[in-house]
Amino acid sequence: MKTVIIGASFAGVHCALRAKQLRPYEEVVIIEKEETLGYIPSGLILLLNQHIKRLDEATFISKDALEKKGIHLILGTSATKFNFSEQYIETTKDRVYYDKLVLAMGSSQISQKLVSNHPGFLTYKKKKDSELALEKIELSKEIAVIGAGQTGMELASALVNKGKEVTLIESMSYPLYKSFDEDVIGPLISEMSQESKLTTYFSQTVKEIKGDNLESELTIVTQQNTISCEAAFLSTNVRPDLSLFEEQLDYHTDQTLKIDAYFETSQPNVFAIGDLVQVPSMLLNQSMYSPLINNAIRSGQICAENLEEKKVAYQGSIRVIGTYVFGQYLASCGLTEADFFLYEEPIETLILDIPLSTIEQDKKIKIKFTYNKNTKILLGVQMISRENILEKINRYTLAIESKMTIDELAKKDHFYHPLYANPVSDII
């Protein structure tokens, strides 16, 4: 069996690794249009925050590591045309036949509405874009970030750390809207309001980006404001680019490909993973577009288990994230208030301010539990703290995945140490 994977994204690479692990006899080929692979999309942010010294270090896997596993790499090569009935792909080099095809080209932050060919209009998910962005950042003093989701916030925070004057523009009324409720995010808002180098415009939608005169500054126009800056990053919603498939594959209105529970598209033997597809919500009776790296990796791994024979239906995601922005660690999994209208039973929430540990009473964690009011089954957890509490979200994720009630969870064991833990469960 020959499996061809298009795109050395997190999804594509982990699909290849799992396929080779499960079926060492399988021929696994990755076709990637860049000459290099394994770049971490937030590499620029890691560099700005001085966690790495060069963009090269922002690598989650190397060419060597993949080749050692027996995975065949065809780099610097783009798929140009798909013939699904004959099971081959035309590329910028040779024609490639496949038994199973996995589409893993990922998504991009290109907006059809907000376009500009001004050199200050930047993206950074690809390494070469990060390199260009880095040069421009060095030369710029005033930089705008459009979109205060996770990547927009991480970028804005990193640029402020770097000493830039940052303008952050977001259409929702507060940041990180997809994973946090406004009553949890309070400490972050107050932290941000004290950043003298940060200007925020919430509840403002960008209408237009002007920068036709390539020598001058960029101008960002919202309903209420006109903002001038030397550089601007678009960190709004990402979407896949389906133009290559020429309507041969069924897709949703949000431009994601339709798949079954085993990641197979409307064409037999053609699978799609990562940012090309929606993921079923484990908690709601529907699928959602949730382009997180952990979702991408799991989609690749589970797709690999189903390539030869459909065996493992994907159980879905509960959208677990963890990040650090503006001095605050934030983690979330499961439902937020924005999802409540999609859930068919009554929901209750509880917000607690708990200390980090018996001894560290002054270090606080704000934590919000969301659960089914009738059954008490846990549905969501949100946390914010100045301390690194990110790892805690993984236990709550497991509890939600196991359909545990808050009462059951409160009775479960955990280690106790007066310096590192609280004596009782977070929720009692």
- Residues in the site for its own copies, rule: CB under 8 A? 10, 14, 21, 40, 42, 46, 51-52, 57-58, 60, 292-294, 297-298, 301-302, 315, 317-318, 320-324, 331, 333, 358-359, 388-395, 397-399, 401-402, 404, 411-421, 423-424, 428
Cα–Cα distance measured from residue 217 to residue 194, given in angstroms and rounded to the nearest whole number = 27
Residue 26 or 230 with smaller CB distance to its own copies? 26
Residue 119 or 327 with smaller CB distance to its own copies? 327
Residue 152 or 322 with smaller CB distance to its own copies? 322
Where b means 16+ CB within 10 Å and e means fewer, 1-21 reads: eebbbbbbbbbbbbbbbbbbe
Shortest distance, position 125 Cβ to its own copies, whole Å: 13
Shortest distance, position 30 Cβ to its own copies, whole Å: 16
Cα–Cα distance measured from residue 122 to residue 231, given in angstroms and rounded to the nearest whole number = 7
Burial of 165 (0-12, 13-18, 19+ CB in 10 A): middle
Shortest distance, position 271 Cβ to its own copies, whole Å: 18
Shortest distance, position 249 Cβ to its own copies, whole Å: 27
* Alpha carbon distance, N-terminus to C-terminus of the chain: 53
Tokens of 292: 């997180």
Radius of gyration of the chain (CA): 23
Cα–Cα distance measured from residue 428 to residue 143, given in angstroms and rounded to the nearest whole number = 46
Q: Yes or no: say if 238 and 126 are a contact pair by the CB < 8 Å rule.
A: no
Shortest distance, position 93 Cβ to its own copies, whole Å: 29
Pairing label, strands 198-201, 206-210: unpaired
Q: Yes or no: say if 62 and 38 are a contact pair by the CB < 8 Å rule.
A: yes
Residue 214 or 352 with smaller CB distance to its own copies? 352
- Measured over all CA atoms, what is the biggest interatomic distance in the chain, rounded to whole angstroms? 67
Beta strands in 111-264 (DSSP E): 121-122, 142-146, 165-169, 198-201, 206-210, 218-222, 226-229, 231-234
Residue 247 or 362 with smaller CB distance to its own copies? 362
Residue 218 or 389 with smaller CB distance to its own copies? 389
Shortest distance, position 418 Cβ to its own copies, whole Å: 5
Please, which residues have CB within 8 angstroms of residue 168's CB and are 6 or more apart in sequence? Answer: 144, 145, 148, 152, 153, 156, 175, 198, 199, 200, 201
Residue 228 or 294 with smaller CB distance to its own copies? 294
Shortest distance, position 321 Cβ to its own copies, whole Å: 5
Shortest distance, position 366 Cβ to its own copies, whole Å: 17
Q: Yes or no: say if 203 and 401 are a contact pair by the CB < 8 Å rule.
A: no
Cα–Cα distance measured from residue 390 to residue 401, given in angstroms and rounded to the nearest whole number = 18
Residue 13 or 145 with smaller CB distance to its own copies? 13
Report phi then psi at 208, rounded to 5.
Answer: -160, 145
Residue 20 or 118 with smaller CB distance to its own copies? 20
Shortest distance, position 412 Cβ to its own copies, whole Å: 6
